[in-house]
Structure 1
Amino acid sequence: MSETGGGTGGETQGATIETGPGPGGPARPLPAEAAPFDAIGLARTLLRTIRSGALATLDPDGTPFASLVTMATDADGTPLMLLSRLSAHTRNLLADPRCSLLFSQGGKGDPLAHPRLTVVGRAVQSAEPRIRERFLARHPKAKLYADFPDFGFFALEPGAGHLNGGFAKAATLTRDQLLLDLADAQAIVAGERGAVEHMNADHADALALYAVGAGGEADLPWRLTSLDPEGLDLIAGERTIRVVHPERVTDMGALRKSLVAMAAQARATGART
Structure 2
Amino acid sequence: MVDAAEEVPEETTRSQAALLLRPTPAEAARTVMEVCVEGTLSTLSEDGWPLGTEIRFAVDVDGNPVFSLQPSALHTRNLLSDSRCSLHAQLEQPGRQKPQCTLWGRIARVDGSKHKEIELAWERRFGTEHLHDGAALYVMNVERALQAPDMGEEETWVTGSDYRDAVADPLRECAPKIVEDMNHKHWQDIRRFCNIYTHLDVELEEASMTWVDRLGFDLRVLTREPQNILEIRIPFPREVTDERDARSTLTIMAQIAWERERNYSPADALFSSM
TM-score (norm 1): 0.53
Percent of aligned pairs with the same amino acid: 23
Rg: which structure is higher? 2
Letter in 1 for 2:164: L
Pairwise mapping of residues 1-273 of structure 1 onto structure 2 (< 5 A)? Answer: 32=12, 38-106=24-92, 113-127=97-111, 128-140=115-127, 143-149=128-134, 151-166=135-150, 168-180=153-165, 212=174, 214-216=175-177, 262=242, 265=245
Measure the CA separation in 2 of the matches of 1:165 and 1:178: 16
- Where does structure 1 lack aligned partners over 5 or more consecutive residues? 6-13, 17-29, 183-208, 219-241, 245-260
Q: C-alpha root-mean-square deviation of aligned residues, in Å?
A: 4.0
Cα offset for 1:168?
3.4
Is the partner of 2:69 in helix, strand or coil?
Answer: strand
8 Å Cα contact 1:72-1:135 kept in structure 2? yes
Letter in 1 for 2:57: M
Cα offset for 1:169?
3.9
Is the partner of 1:43 in helix, strand or coil?
Answer: helix
Name the count of aligned residue pairs: 175
Cα offset for 1:60?
1.2
Measure the CA separation in 2 of the matches of 1:215 and 1:157: 30
- Where does structure 2 lack aligned partners over 5 or more consecutive residues? 2-6, 14-19, 181-211, 215-240, 252-274
Deviations 1:106-127 (A, max 9, x none): 35776xx521111011001113
Cα offset for 1:91?
0.6
Measure the CA separation in 2 of the matches of 1:210 and 1:48: 8
Measure the CA separation in 2 of the matches of 1:40 and 1:104: 15
Measure the CA separation in 2 of the matches of 1:105 and 1:263: 19
Measure the CA separation in 2 of the matches of 1:210 and 1:121: 25
Closer, same or farther: CA 61–41 of 1 in aligned 2, 3 Å:
same
Closer, same or farther: CA 243–145 of 1 in aligned 2, 3 Å:
farther
Cα offset for 1:87?
0.4
Please identify, of 172-181 and 60-69, the stretch whose mean Cα deviation from structure 2 is larger.
172-181
TM-score (norm 2): 0.53
Deviations 1:153-209 (A, max 9, x none): 111111111111126342000001111389xxxxxxxxxxxxxxxxxxxxxxxxxx9
Deviations 1:88-142 (A, max 9, x none): 00011111100000011135776xx5211110110011131111111121112xx
Measure the CA separation in 2 of the matches of 1:32 and 1:265: 25
Closer, same or farther: CA 121–216 of 1 in aligned 2, 3 Å:
same
Measure the CA separation in 2 of the matches of 1:64 and 1:31: 33
8 Å Cα contact 1:119-1:161 kept in structure 2? yes
